[in-house]
Amino acid sequence: MVAGIGWGVVWMVSQALMPAVIGKAVDAGLADRDRGALLTWGTVLLGLGLVQAATGILRHRVAVFNWLAAAYRTIQLTIVQANRLGATLPKRLATGEVVSIGTADISHIGNALDVTARGSGAVVAIVTIAVILFSTSVPLGLVVIVGVPLLMALVGGLIRPLHRRQQAYRDQQARLTTQAGDIVTGLRVLRGVGGEATFAARYRAESQSLRSAGVRVARVESVLEAAQVFVPGAFVVLVVWLGARFALRGEITPGQLVSFYGYASFLMFPLRTITETIDKVTRGHVAARRVVAMLALRRDLAEPAHPAALPGGAGDLVDGESGVVVRPGRLTAIAANTPEDATAIADRLGRYVDGEVTLSGVPLRELPLATVRERILVADNDGRLFSGPLRAELGGDDERIGAALAVASATDIVDALPDGLDTVVAERGREFSGGQQQRLRLVRALLADPPVLVLVEPTSAVDAHTEARIAERLGAARAGRATVVCTTSPLVLDRADHVLFVEDGKVAAEGGHRELLETEPRYAALVTRGEES
């Protein structure tokens, strides 16, 4: 930023000095017919031109760097913050708000930093011109010193309403983007319940409202653009008119009149630059407030003030609220009479919500969240497949990927792809069916290979034959590590080392699947419903 301002000042001042040099060449070289003076001032003018060209290139290079740095570092910061917030982000911030930061706000922030170099140069150039005019003619110097602040105040009066309307437009745009995302995500459901037309009509109405807000913003912007041309132009006319009167009265020389005309024409450029700077800094301020508001969000789960350390070796993962105990090296199944109870237990085990959960006797809330995420992975059906090569999405070498594909019975998915693992996955993996996405998510979780893996309904969208293969292979693939499967599928339950039957959020019975079928009627009824469905 300092380099950009420095080069911008030199670049603009070198241009501001040119009319004075031309005036000197006219008076000393042409009027007095002095070839030496003409050559001297011509050389000075050439030198100023070379300085202007060199510093203009350097200023532009630094300004572009500042634009890119501001825009893309903002993206990096918001991505880091989004990862840090995790599950808290969608609770606190709408999707459209995040999208707007990555599309519109970064440009406004970049423009604000970019224009600073030119804006600073414009201010110094106007001061330089005012000093030169004062040394030549006090009345003309006063016109510049008094006139420029008045012009800025006049143009600045348009900035405030523009600021307010831009803020309202920005908020409405974020809401409409969120609504569009919600409609696309739930399109099948909307069609199923006959609500597609209702939501489409609502979106059309909101879209028209946004268009009207955009027109209101454009009206103020058009007035501002016109003012940026008319107001400096009127000022130029005033300076030229006054200079011509002084020249006719003999108060200034012909060369000075030429200089005044040059300044009058040149002043339009720094004046417009200053108004542009005000406009872009205002827009950048609106955008920056949005970004800062996101960066100021704090996740629901606080980091411990004095983090504890885990003892060596693998230990039990215990949920005190439900009575669930997950032991190392075993495949534990949780069959809950309501899916919400199983999800709540999984969230507590992975510390997505706080609870009375311990790992190796240490409460999870006393461990750094990064440690919890490294040790415990919760994989549910809300996980997304990201765009990019499938190999990069899954992670791991070909041998490990092949083994995980076999466990998840997903080898056929890769075989059917045109480029195998090198096939580029579309956003959210939309080219895959629900069952295929579920199996690929399971492959990704297996490749992560955490000490504790919690799977929430990992086979709910696959057919019985595929489910049977997954259930048969999962235990062996996770040998030596703790695995929890929240499910009511008898095929998976039958392969579990230990089954916990959860009723009303508490462990009501535990043992082997076949044992519970014989001794616990409520468990048998739950599993039977699963078989019938």
Give the tens place of pLDDT for each residue, 345-380.
Answer: 999 999 988 899 999 999 999 999 889 999 999 999
Break the chain into its structural domains and give their ranges.
71-295, 317-532
Residues in Cβ contact with 455 at an 8 Å cutoff, skipping those fewer than 6 apart:
379, 380, 442, 445, 483, 484, 485, 486, 487
- Complete edge-to-edge strand list for the sheet that includes strand 331-336: 376-379, 452-456, 482-486, 331-336, 498-503, 506-511
Q: In terms of DSSP bridges, do strands 317-319 and 357-359 run parallel, antiparallel, or are they unpaired?
A: antiparallel
188-229 pLDDT per residue, tens: 555 666 666 777 788 888 888 888 888 888 887 788 778 777
When pLDDT is cut at 50, 70 and 90, the band that residue 533 belongs to is very low
Q: What pLDDT shows up at residue 133?
A: 79
Least confident range from 64-73, 173-182, 341-350, 412-421: namely 173-182
Q: Say yes or no to pLDDT of 481 above 90.
A: yes
Share of the chain above pLDDT 90, in %: 50
- CA–CA separation, 111 vs 57, rounded Å? 18
Average pLDDT over residues 131-157: 75
Q: What pLDDT shows up at residue 24?
A: 86
Topology of the domain comprising 317-532? Rossmann fold (3.40.50)
- CA–CA separation, 158 vs 162, rounded Å? 6
Least confident range from 122-126, 181-185, 509-513: namely 181-185
pTM comes to 0.61
Spatial contact of 461 and 435, defined as CB atoms under 8 Å apart: yes
Phi, psi of 128 (to 5 degrees): -60, -45
| Chain mean pLDDT for the chain | 87
Least confident range from 29-43, 107-121, 316-330, 336-350: namely 29-43
| Per CATH, domain 71-295 is 2.60.120.10 | no
Q: What pLDDT shows up at residue 194?
A: 66
Q: Say yes or no to pLDDT of 102 above 60.
A: yes
- Complete edge-to-edge strand list for the sheet that includes strand 357-359: 324-326, 317-319, 357-359, 362-363
Average pLDDT over residues 231-252: 80
Q: What pLDDT shows up at residue 195?
A: 66
Mean pLDDT is highest, among 122-126, 302-306, 311-315, 320-324, for 320-324
Q: What pLDDT shows up at residue 192?
A: 62
